[in-house]
Structure 1
Amino acid sequence: MIHQRLKEAINQYSEELTALRRKLHSEPELSWQEENTTKFICEYLENLGIAFRRTEPTGVIAEIKGEKPGKTVALRGDMDALSVEQLNKELPYASKEDGKMHACGHDAHTAMLLIAAKALNEIKADLPGNVRLIFQPAEEVAEGAKALVEQGAVEGVDNVFGIHIWSQMPTHKVSCMPGPSFASADLFTVTFKGRGGHGAMPQDCIDAAIVASAFVMNVQPVISRTIDPQQPAVLTVGKMTVGTRFNVIAENAVIEGTVRCFDPSTRDHIEKQLTHYANQVAALYGATVKVEYIRGTQAVINDEYSANLVQKVAAETFGEDVLYQEKPTMGGEDFSFYLDKVPGSFALVGSGNPEKDTGWAHHHGRFNIDEDALATGAELYAQYAWVYLNE
């Protein structure tokens, strides 16, 4: 089922794969600022003779056209970095940009997809169909996938496949379970307005600090008491801004947080209940409130056929023991916007290795990957495309 030439090519280009990842890691660019990364990808694809077009304002969509008729499969790799200061500066490929770092593995995704493209391009005479290559910007702000879908990324595509390096899994392991993989990720802002005044005269005031605190302490029952306990959900208050001075009763309080879940009806219910709780708390204290609820990414739900195909491809490519059953995460991923349009799946490739200190959480300043996982990801991209087109 697998293509032996792809395996040989990935192995042949392993040193180049590592070098690509290290270059990208040392030159991180934030969401919607990936100008140099976009230029580098374009030059690389041009040298391979692969047709491509730039997307706006950053990003690249390319296509390898097989010489036999067939379907079109899309492979996606994201490429933006984070506003994180790199702490493991001793690495020879550490970030050259203060306060910017590839702390989530997108450098690896881009490098893996480039090498997969290189290998697939060499067998295009055998390909029964086409391989769409999506180099996506702005995943970290949950905007890039939606923007590229609007720019035609999955037009004419029959199936879409993505990979995320995963430091919480052992190196080389592959997980792609049917059903929920990543949760929907929403943002909310609750703004309470009371009546400020002197700290010595509370009788003349409506203390926004008290109102906001009451909301924070009482909103968790939205999760624990109003939804089915068999539907996982998280409501987190991450930021609270209130008051201006130690002896001034606060007039305003702003609370920011996130909601994560997998089920659409649960998502609707939490939004409604959060607004209800905010209004009731404000009324209790005589304050006013404004609630802004922003829907971010959808839940990533792996198509059963596609996820099972990933498992079959991984087992045949690397052996049965490579398969791993990672639990769904409450983390968000904008790969969901592709799955809204096209069936597909999203796989995790393990890169955690205690001996190489690569078990740090994603978004941590010491995040790093076991580079032995790069070849696993690159070949999984390539072999999945080959097998899907031959199904």
Structure 2
Amino acid sequence: MINQQIKDTVTRDREELIALRRTFHSEPELPWEEVKTTQFICDYLDKLGISYRKTEPTGVIAEIEGQPGGKTVALRGDMDALPVEQLNTHVPYASKVAGKMHACGHDAHTSMLLMAAKALSEVKDGLQGNIRLIFQPAEEIAEGAKAMVEQGAMESVDHVFGIHIWSQMQTHQVSCPPGPSFAAADIFKVHFVGKGGHGAIPEDCIDAAVVASSFVMNVQTVISRTIDPQNAAVLTIGRMDVGTRFNVIAENALIEGTVRTFNQETRDHIEKSIADYAQNVAAMYGATAEVEYIRGTQPVINNEASAMLVQQVATEAFGPDVLYNEKPTMGAEDFSFYLDKAPGSFALVGSGNTEKDTEWSHHHGSFDIDEDALATGAELYAQFAWAYLNQ
């Protein structure tokens, strides 16, 4: 199941792997701006002799061809950064770009996938099939995976595998249980329109601030009183924009929020209920409501056979103590769009280490990773692909 040469390559080139990650970390690029990152990946693949093509406007799809007649397994790594100011500027690889930072670990994903490509290219004559390498842009805005699929990333792919570095797990731990992993993530917007006027004459007005406040205070009962408690769901109001001046009764109110679910029926119910609540609250006060519900990513559901193969590979590569069962998160991942096209799984690789101060939450300005985790992720990418094609 495990290829020793792959393990030896990752071990041998550990310092190179760390250097790759530090290069990406110090030069972060936001979604759809990953021009330098894309070119760096292409230059590295050129050195390895791996064929590839650029996608538009950024991103790379590469191919390692093994023996003909086999299946194709895709490995995905995302590469975009966040508009976050780095706080831990004392590290030698700190972001060189003000207001931009790899605060989620995508720098690690890209470097791990490049090292996996290197290891797999050295054993390609023994591969019973092909490996598709997907270097994806724009994950943070949930647009990149869909764009890569539209540009052929999943054509003729039989299976797909991805990894996310996870600071909430201890370094080297691997989690990939069958079933739900990341939630579907939707956005909703509600625009209430009342009747504005002077703050001293409320009887002549319809106060959009009151309407919006009533909606915010009551819409949570969609979750607490209409959803089976065993079907996890989250509804969060993240923005409320009401009124123009202290002594003017608001005519308009805009509310924006997000819904996270694992179950399609639950998702449908919440979408309908938000619209019903908005319309009924508005009618109660004599206002009107316009609701926009935007479906984002699908839930990431790990295929059972794929997840069990990940666990087997991880155990054989790193020992039985490496396995950890991380509970599903209400966070979102556009890896789900690949799973719409082929079965697969999405693993978490722990990078949290108290002594190295790498247990900060993802998207925080102090986020960092224990670089010892890079070798675990790179080898897991490569060993999984080897095992899937040669099982």
Shared fold per TM-score greater than 0.5: yes
* AA at the equivalent of 1:376: T
Q: Could you tell me which residue of structure 2 aligns to residue 333 of structure 1?
A: 333
Q: Deviations over 1:332-383 (max 9, x none)?
A: 0000000011000000000000000000000000000000000000000000
C-alpha distance in 2 between matches for 1:34 and 1:304: 34
Q: Could you tell me which residue of structure 2 aligns to residue 352 of structure 1?
A: 352
Contact 1:212 1:253 in 2 (8 A): yes
C-alpha distance in 2 between matches for 1:30 and 1:122: 32
Contact 1:129 1:389 in 2 (8 A): yes
Q: Could you tell me which residue of structure 2 aligns to residue 170 of structure 1?
A: 170
C-alpha distance in 1 between matches for 2:254 and 2:83: 23
Contact 1:68 1:125 in 2 (8 A): no
Q: Deviations over 1:8-47 (max 9, x none)?
A: 0000110000000000000000001111101111111011
Give the TM-score of the pair, scaled to structure 1: 0.99
Q: Could you tell me which residue of structure 2 aligns to residue 108 of structure 1?
A: 108
Runs ≥4 residues deviating over 3 A: none
Q: Could you tell me which residue of structure 1 aligns to residue 52 of structure 2?
A: 52
What fraction of aligned residue pairs are identical, expressed as a percent? 75
Residue 67 of structure 1: how far off its partner (Å):
3.3
Q: Could you tell me which residue of structure 1 aligns to residue 272 of structure 2?
A: 272
* AA at the equivalent of 2:154: V
C-alpha distance in 2 between matches for 1:191 and 1:82: 28
Q: Could you tell me which residue of structure 2 aligns to residue 237 of structure 1?
A: 237
Residue 91 of structure 1: how far off its partner (Å):
1.0
Residue 311 of structure 1: how far off its partner (Å):
0.2
Q: Could you tell me which residue of structure 2 aligns to residue 226 of structure 1?
A: 226
Alignment of 1:97-246 (within 5 A): 97-246=97-246
Contact 1:53 1:62 in 2 (8 A): yes
Q: Could you tell me which residue of structure 1 aligns to residue 376 of structure 2?
A: 376
Matched, 1:306 2:306: yes
Contact 1:68 1:126 in 2 (8 A): no
C-alpha distance in 1 between matches for 2:281 and 2:43: 57
Q: Deviations over 1:93-126 (max 9, x none)?
A: 1111111100000000000000000010011111
Number of residue pairs matched?
A: 391
Q: Could you tell me which residue of structure 2 aligns to residue 256 of structure 1?
A: 256
C-alpha distance in 1 between matches for 2:188 and 2:287: 19
SS of 2:47's partner is helix
C-alpha distance in 2 between matches for 1:37 and 1:340: 27
SS of 1:295's partner is strand
C-alpha distance in 1 between matches for 2:201 and 2:84: 43
SS of 2:28's partner is coil
Q: Deviations over 1:143-200 (max 9, x none)?
A: 1001111111011011000000000000000000000000000001111011111111
* AA at the equivalent of 2:104: C
SS of 1:188's partner is strand
C-alpha distance in 1 between matches for 2:204 and 2:39: 61
Contact 1:68 1:127 in 2 (8 A): no
Residue 68 of structure 1: how far off its partner (Å):
4.7
C-alpha distance in 1 between matches for 2:16 and 2:98: 26
SS of 1:256's partner is strand
Q: Could you tell me which residue of structure 2 aligns to residue 95 of structure 1?
A: 95
C-alpha distance in 1 between matches for 2:374 and 2:205: 60
Q: Could you tell me which residue of structure 2 aligns to residue 292 of structure 1?
A: 292
Residue 70 of structure 1: how far off its partner (Å):
1.0
SS of 2:223's partner is helix
SS of 2:126's partner is coil
Structure 1: gaps spanning 5 or more residues: none
Give the TM-score of the pair, scaled to structure 2: 0.99
Q: Could you tell me which residue of structure 2 aligns to residue 282 of structure 1?
A: 282
Structure 2: gaps spanning 5 or more residues: none
